[in-house]
Structure 1
Amino acid sequence: MSTEAPFLNETTTTELITHSSKEPSYNIITTVCGPLNASISEEIAANDLTSRANYCYVLCAVLGFASALFLFYSFFRTYRAGTWNRLDTLLCALSISEFYIVLCSLSSLAHRPQYLQTTNLNCAIFSFFYNVAYFSGQLMLVLMGFVLIFDQDPPSTPLLQTALNKPIVCVGVTTLASLLSSVLLMGLLGISRDPNNVYNIYKVTACRVDPCQASYIYSRTKLVLGFILPNLLLLALLGAGYLVWRRSNSSFLSRLKAFPVFLAVALVTFVCRIVYNGVLMKEVSLRVTDELSPRQEALMSVAEFVLFSGSCASLVLLLLLHGPFRDGLREVLCCHGMGGREANRHIMAPHIEIRDTQDMTTADDQETTTTNDH
């Protein structure tokens, strides 16, 4: 009985592995993003790992969706109340970016351990819009850091003062930078080291948020533009904030503790994206050298779910750590819990009016005096 799967030469391959007719047959459909030469047991173990990660992510996705819906409801209430400020603008833009990433995760949630099957063109468009949200969310953290650091100590530079006073303009510039970065990555999808590997935009292939046919230069460019540069900007802002707060006789740590939502979201985003980018770089390098194994393919799927979980966690942290959102959630929960009991109490309890006898006697005397006068 053969225990080795045939070598898969195509970038996206679906193989039907059937054992000899003398023994029970097992049909295993394997959809991969690169050439594999692995045993059936390795394929099964890899699919099992991916499926377990998929099930675990379901809970994160539900929490992320619920948190995002309540956040948008809170933003609507804030806007209607006329209390909208510049921090709300940045938090709303960040919430939209993270929520869109959670929406993109549905493609992985619905198809793993296999992949969404579509043309290279459709996959590139899907990846483009995902990357816009990916870059935008990272740059929004930089803007949040800038606003929170210089909120009480405005910068002396006119350009920085304008950026501080007009957050909607900063959001527009950030979105434009995200669009340009995504266009660059979309153009890098067709670059390959193999001149014989022609990029056919109408070829049906396995698709994910970072396409399987992405080259090594694609992964390096995304690492630099979407992770290294934004985090260097954050470090520079923290350094500037340390100098500004030291000059104003404020404690650096105490000022940072005043912004728990920013610190928590930045930390979660950093951890999840460094894991994802590290696994992506490793996976692309193994695919280029035809050494990609089912286990590494499964690790790439797990890294995707880690990235998506970071967006869900960011939405939950925004809801729980930001004061107005937390108070709004507490108000809704308390009103929902007390509303039924209050209504029943008013219905069942009769209204009894008790009047003081002294007041009644005084009223009767006044009435008698009035009668005698007449």
Structure 2
Amino acid sequence: MEGRMTAHNMTGISYPSKNLAFNSTEEIEAFIASQNIISRLMHCYIAFFVPSGLIAGICILIIFIKNYLQYKVIENLDLLLLHFTISNIIMIFLSFTVITRPDYLNATHLACNVLSFFFNFGYFNSQYAFILTLLTLLLKSFPPTTALSKATQRPILCVGFVLICAFCLSLTAAVLVGADNYHLDTDCQLDPLFARPEYEIVKFTFGFGIPSFLQILCFIVLFAKEAPALKQHIRTYPAVYIISTSIFICRLFYNVMILFRTTFKLQKSIGTPKNELVMNIAEIVLFCESCASLVFILCFHKPCKDELLKVIQNCRRKNTANSHLEIPTTHESGSQ
């Protein structure tokens, strides 16, 4: 039943690249070209984005922990960004599954489902953590007497609520992946190909549709409230605005590809190698966004940016001091 499927049993399908019968030289060349593209993108991601994201993430953790130990307090916005940072670091570690591309990770259906659960947990967690960050930023413009304002004054409770929501959504997605033939090996992707069509629909709805609506709503209210001093507000919180833009663009592309894959399943088709290539590109773009978000926090969020500038200035002072110490030594040796 290769390449065919039913509404509730997707374990018989396979990737187009694994199920090809070449009829011409053009088809072979097109297949090789698509494999080369995904391989080069993977190497670019591993070589540049992963180190940048992990270094930025570690620096953010060190800065926030250092500030907390020094001042014994952490602002609500910083705590939410810290939660967002940890979620993205988890996403980066899970992205190492793309190292095998253009091939796929070989795992059992059960192991693939477990990987998918943790991936979705990080995905939903980072998405809703950022929505909570936007909401906290928005409510700073309103009197602290409102119910939502009081709720955001207890960020630990809000983070706990986000974690519970992310866990429930990830568990729902894991159920929709299915447990058929759990002991058999498969070509594993973090969004398993053998998942039921409902999996992609739930992921799009709760991982992009609803969060994007809330994000746009927050911005509409924020712009309406802060219209007279909007430029100053953007300068005060540049990281939030930059990250929100990158999240929306990258996740839009990724989720559109997710929906396209659902249509193929509903049409009982496996698509083409080109469709497979674009889906793989969308997955890597999603991981690049996780890395980029951490770099944006480090470079544009004020506490992190100030600490980073201090480190750079200290390094320059040490280099200047060392150069001044070397000059007399040079003159002294010349006089001898």
Fold-level similarity (TM above 0.5) = yes
1:89 CA drift (Å): 0.6
Deviations 1:107-150 (A, max 9, x none): 11x21110100011111111111111101111111111111122
Q: Map of 1:298-313 to 2, 5 A cutoff?
A: 298-313=277-292
Asked if 1 retains the 8 angstrom alpha-carbon contact of 2:139 and 2:148, the reply is: no
SS in 1 for 2:187: strand
Q: Could you tell me which residue of structure 2 aligns to residue 162 of structure 1?
A: 150
Q: Could you tell me which residue of structure 2 aligns to residue 81 of structure 1?
A: 70
SS in 2 for 1:234: helix
Asked if 1 retains the 8 angstrom alpha-carbon contact of 2:16 and 2:270, the reply is: no
Structure 2 residue identity aligned to 1:174: V
Higher relative contact order (CA closer than 8 Å, sequence separation 6+): 2
Distance in 2, matches of 1:177 and 1:33, equals 36
Q: Could you tell me which residue of structure 2 aligns to residue 133 of structure 1?
A: 122
Report the structure, 1 or 2, having the larger helix content.
Answer: 2
Q: Could you tell me which residue of structure 2 aligns to residue 70 of structure 1?
A: 59
Structure 2 residue identity aligned to 1:317: F
1:206 CA drift (Å): 0.9
**1:235/1:259 Cα in 2 relative to 1: closer, same or farther (>3 Å)?**
same
1:255 CA drift (Å): 2.8
Distance in 1, matches of 2:290 and 2:325, equals 44
Structure 1 residue identity aligned to 2:229: S
Q: Could you tell me which residue of structure 2 aligns to residue 266 of structure 1?
A: 244
Structure 2 residue identity aligned to 1:101: M
Residue from 255, 258, 283 that aligns with 2:261? 283
Structure 1, gaps ≥5 residues long: 1-6, 14-30, 191-197, 351-374
Q: CA RMSD in A?
A: 2.5
Residue from 182, 206, 210 that aligns with 2:191? 210
1:304 CA drift (Å): 0.8
Asked if 1 retains the 8 angstrom alpha-carbon contact of 2:138 and 2:222, the reply is: yes
Distance in 1, matches of 2:226 and 2:43, equals 46
Distance in 1, matches of 2:118 and 2:313, equals 39
Structure 2 residue identity aligned to 1:264: I
Structure 2 residue identity aligned to 1:262: V
**1:42/1:245 Cα in 2 relative to 1: closer, same or farther (>3 Å)?**
closer
Distance in 1, matches of 2:202 and 2:20, equals 26
- Deviation larger for 148-157 or 228-237: 148-157
Residue from 170, 179, 182 that aligns with 2:167? 179
Asked if 2 retains the 8 angstrom alpha-carbon contact of 1:100 and 1:133, the reply is: yes
Distance in 1, matches of 2:252 and 2:3, equals 30
Deviations 1:286-318 (A, max 9, x none): 255224111211111111110001111101100
**1:346/1:302 Cα in 2 relative to 1: closer, same or farther (>3 Å)?**
same
1:336 CA drift (Å): 2.5
Structure 2 residue identity aligned to 1:210: D
* Bigger-Rg structure (1/2): 1
- Deviation larger for 69-78 or 287-296: 287-296
TM-score when scaled to structure 2? 0.85
- Deviation larger for 43-52 or 118-127: 43-52
Asked if 1 retains the 8 angstrom alpha-carbon contact of 2:204 and 2:258, the reply is: no
Asked if 1 retains the 8 angstrom alpha-carbon contact of 2:83 and 2:159, the reply is: yes
Residue from 267, 272, 279 that aligns with 1:293? 272
SS in 2 for 1:201: coil
1:205 CA drift (Å): 0.4
Q: Could you tell me which residue of structure 2 aligns to residue 368 of structure 1?
A: none
Asked if 1 retains the 8 angstrom alpha-carbon contact of 2:250 and 2:289, the reply is: yes
Identity, % of aligned positions = 27
Residue from 94, 115, 119 that aligns with 2:104? 115
TM-score when scaled to structure 1? 0.77
Structure 2 residue identity aligned to 1:286: F
Q: Could you tell me which residue of structure 1 aligns to residue 334 of structure 2?
A: none
